[in-house]
Amino acid sequence: MSKKAQTPERIRITYVKSAIGYGKDQKATLKALGLRRLGQTVEHIATPAILGMVEKVKHLVEVERVTG
């Protein structure tokens, strides 16, 4: 009667547009996501907090689900 361990959903976030001209809050959100340079990609577990941060900077990043 063991339950199969549920692996958390992961997302891959790529920084694709410069934050120049946007507010400090959006720049801080990118930094909190671990994004420092254009073209950089990071992976995170899709928690409500991470998804909220991505929603705030969705015009600066591309997001894709990681399968596997």
Q: What does the domain layout of the chain look like in residue ranges?
A: 10-66
Please give the Cα distance from 52 to 62 (Å, whole number): 14
* Amino acid sitting at position 32: A
Strand partners, 43: 12
- pLDDT tens column, 6-42: 788 999 999 999 999 999 999 999 999 999 999 999 9
- CATH classification number, 10-66, choose in 3.40.1800.10, 3.10.20.30, 3.40.630.30, 3.30.1390.20: 3.30.1390.20
pTM (two decimals): 0.88
Strand partners, 41: 14
| pLDDT-derived band at 3, boundaries 50, 70, 90 | low
